[in-house]
Amino acid sequence: MSANRIKHKVNHVSLVVDKSGSMRQHQAQLIRVVDEFVKGLQEESDRLGHETRISLYAFDHEVQNLVWDMDVKHLPSLRGLYRVDNGATALIEAAVKSVDDLKNIWEGYGEHSFLQVVVTDGEENASGFSQTGQMHTRMNAGRGTTVLRTWRDRIQGAMDELPDHWTSAILVPNSLAKRTAQEYGFPAGNIAIWDADSSQGVEEAIGTVKSAATSFLRGREQGVRGTKNLFAMGQDLNTAEVKAKLDALDTGKYMLVPVDQPTPIRDFVTSAGHTYRTGCAFYELSKREKIQGNKQLAVAEKDPATGRMTGRVFSGPAARQLLGLPCAEATVKPGENPAYTVFVQSTSVNRKLVPGTKLLVML
Asked whether residue 87 is assigned to any structural domain, the reply reads yes
Q: Are residues 173 and 321 in the same domain?
A: no
Of 125-139, 187-201, 232-246, 302-316, minimum mean pLDDT range: 125-139
What ranges make up the beta strands (E) of 90-158?
Answer: 111-119
**In 3-state terms, what secondary structure has residue 317?**
coil
Of the pLDDT bands very low, low, confident and very high (cuts 50, 70, 90), residue 140 is: very low
Q: Region 67-74: what's the mean pLDDT?
A: 95
Q: Are residues 279 and 335 in the same domain?
A: yes
Q: Region 230-244: what's the mean pLDDT?
A: 83
The pLDDT of residue 5 = 63
Q: Region 110-128: what's the mean pLDDT?
A: 89
The pLDDT of residue 45 = 92
Domain residue limits at 216: 9-230
Q: Are residues 280 and 164 in the same domain?
A: no
Asked whether residue 122 is assigned to any structural domain, the reply reads yes
The pLDDT of residue 358 = 96
Asked whether residue 3 is assigned to any structural domain, the reply reads no
Of the pLDDT bands very low, low, confident and very high (cuts 50, 70, 90), residue 184 is: very high
Instruction: Measure the N-to-C terminal CA separation of the chain; round to a whole number of Å.
Output: 64
The pLDDT of residue 142 = 47
Of the pLDDT bands very low, low, confident and very high (cuts 50, 70, 90), residue 186 is: very high
Asked whether residue 1 is assigned to any structural domain, the reply reads no
Asked whether residue 179 is assigned to any structural domain, the reply reads yes
Asked whether residue 4 is assigned to any structural domain, the reply reads no
Q: Are strands 340-346 and 281-284 parallel, antiparallel or unpaired?
A: antiparallel
Q: Are residues 216 and 244 in the same domain?
A: no
pTM, rounded to two decimals: 0.75
Q: Are residues 51 and 179 in the same domain?
A: yes
Q: Are residues 179 and 253 in the same domain?
A: no
Last residue of a domain, one of 207, 230, 253: 230
What ranges make up the beta strands (E) of 239-339?
Answer: 247-248, 254-258, 281-284, 289-291, 297-302, 309-315, 330-334
User: Residue 301: pLDDT above 90?
Assistant: yes
Q: Are residues 120 and 226 in the same domain?
A: yes
CA–centroid distance for 294 within its chain: 20
Q: Are residues 178 and 274 in the same domain?
A: no
Q: Region 263-272: what's the mean pLDDT?
A: 94
What integer best gives the mean pLDDT of the chain? Answer: 87
Q: How many domains does the chain have?
A: 2
User: Residue 194: pLDDT above 60?
Assistant: yes
pLDDT > 90: what percent of the chain? 50
The pLDDT of residue 124 = 87
Last residue of a domain, one of 230, 251, 267: 230
Last residue of a domain, one of 181, 207, 230: 230
Q: Are residues 310 and 340 in the same domain?
A: yes
Of the pLDDT bands very low, low, confident and very high (cuts 50, 70, 90), residue 141 is: very low
User: Residue 267: pLDDT above 80?
Assistant: yes
CA dist 236 and 238 (Å) reads: 6
The phi, psi pair for 48, rounded to 5°, reads -95, -15
Q: Using CB atoms within 10 A of its CB, is residue 238 exposed (0-12), middle (13-18) or buried (19+)?
A: middle
Q: Are residues 224 and 284 in the same domain?
A: no
Closest CA to 214 of 320, 116, 285: 320
Asked whether residue 2 is assigned to any structural domain, the reply reads no
User: Residue 52: pLDDT above 90?
Assistant: yes
Q: Region 135-155: what's the mean pLDDT?
A: 68
Of the pLDDT bands very low, low, confident and very high (cuts 50, 70, 90), residue 6 is: low
The pLDDT of residue 134 = 57
Asked whether residue 18 is assigned to any structural domain, the reply reads yes
Question: What is the domain-level CATH number for residue 170?
Answer: 3.40.50.410
CA dist 312 and 176 (Å) reads: 41
Q: Are residues 343 and 287 in the same domain?
A: yes
Q: Region 97-114: what's the mean pLDDT?
A: 94
The answer to whether the beta carbons of residues 334 and 234 sit under 8 Å apart is yes
The pLDDT of residue 130 = 63
CA dist 38 and 40 (Å) reads: 5
The pLDDT of residue 30 = 84
Q: Are residues 225 and 245 in the same domain?
A: no
Dihedral Cα 138, 143, 149, 150, nearest 10 deg: -140
The pLDDT of residue 138 = 47
